[in-house]
């Protein structure tokens, strides 16, 4: 199979992740988003939805430098990470009462397993986003931020519509570390109303 630009870009971030000790190349997506948006700051309480294998949580931990708190949630088992309270559960069953504090930043890199059938994948993504939005409503402080992954198309429209009701400003972000052929896109809701 011919190796295209996207393959080489994926390889580049895989080896960078190895070099810097990150558990995933996804870590660079958050690094790039935060470089522009400056959402990860000391003393914040941050929740990382779909955290395994832990790249994003590592980036958050580097930013918080032992201040604030990090809770990571994933349906998969994740080896322990310093400064991260890990809860293994399906997001559908996550009980927000388990959290010890209100949250300043909700991060989500969750996506459903891809079937390749757009209508099915969009529906599954929207179902996950609905759960995330209910977590945002119940836990995020006023003025807090929410970064979510979705797919270009119906789920993006759904997310933007919902964030407009909840946040002062919204940005659509495609970080360089996200493969250009991938439909994934991130949306950032800044400053919860």
Ligand X SMILES: C[S@@+](CC[C@H](N)C(=O)[O-])C[C@H]1O[C@@H](n2cnc3c(N)ncnc32)[C@H](O)[C@@H]1O
Catalytic (active-site) positions: 149
Which residues 72-111 are close enough to bind ligand X by CB under 6 A? 73-76, 90-92, 109-110
Q: How far is the CB of 54 from ligand X (least distance, A)?
A: 5
Which residue stretch of 5-13, 22-30, 173-181, 185-193 sits at the interface with ligand X (rule: CB under 6 A)?
22-30
Instruction: Give the torsion sign (CA, 10, 26, 33, 92).
Output: positive
Please select the residue that binds ligand X; options are 40, 44, 45, 55, rule is CB under 6 A: 55
Q: Does 63 bind ligand X (CB under 6 A)?
A: no
Q: Which is nearer to ligand X, 36 or 127 (CB)?
A: 127
Q: Which is nearer to ligand X, 44 or 135 (CB)?
A: 135
Three-state SS for 107? Answer: strand
Q: Does 50 bind ligand X (CB under 6 A)?
A: yes
Which residues 139-158 are close enough to bind ligand X by CB under 6 A? none
Q: Does 126 bind ligand X (CB under 6 A)?
A: no
Q: Any bridge partners for residue 106, and if so which? A: 47, 146
Residue 72 to residues 57, 69, 167, 171, Cα–Cα distance (Å): 7, 10, 23, 24
Please select the residue that binds ligand X; options are 13, 17, 23, 139, rule is CB under 6 A: 23
Q: Which is nearer to ligand X, 64 or 110 (CB)?
A: 110
Closest Cα to residue 34, out of 69, 75, 63, 1?
A: 63
Helix ranges, 21-148 (H): 27-37, 55-64, 118-139
Q: Does 56 bind ligand X (CB under 6 A)?
A: yes
Structural contact between residues 23 and 58, judged by C-beta atoms closer than 8 angstroms: yes
CA distance 116 to 175: 23
CA distance 99 to 71: 8
Q: How far is the CB of 70 from ligand X (least distance, A)?
A: 12
Q: Which residues bind ligand X (CB under 6 A)?
A: 23-24, 26-27, 50-56, 73-76, 90-92, 109-110
């Amino acid at each position: 199979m011919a190796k295209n630009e996207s393959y080489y870009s994926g390889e580049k971030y895989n080896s960078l992740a190895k070099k810097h000790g990150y558990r995933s190349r996804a870590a660079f997506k958050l690094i790039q988003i935060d470089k522009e948006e400056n959402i990860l700051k000391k003393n914040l309480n941050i929740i990382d939805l779909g955290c395994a294998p832990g790249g994003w949580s590592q980036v958050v931990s580097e930013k918080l430098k032992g201040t604030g708190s990090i809770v990571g949630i994933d349906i998969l088992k994740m080896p322990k990470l310093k400064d991260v309270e890990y809860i293994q559960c399906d997001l559908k069953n996550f009980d927000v009462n388990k959290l010890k504090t209100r949250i300043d930043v909700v991060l989500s890199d969750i996506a459903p397993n891809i079937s390749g059938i757009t209508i099915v994948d969009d529906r599954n993504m929207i179902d996950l986003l609905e759960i995330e939005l209910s977590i945002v409503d119940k836990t995020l402080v006023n003025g807090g931020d929410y970064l979510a992954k979705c797919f270009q198309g119906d789920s993006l429209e759904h997310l933007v519509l919902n964030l407009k009701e909840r946040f002062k400003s919204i940005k659509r972000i495609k970080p360089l570390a996200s493969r250009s052929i991938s439909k994934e896109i991130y949306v950032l809701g800044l400053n919860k109303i």
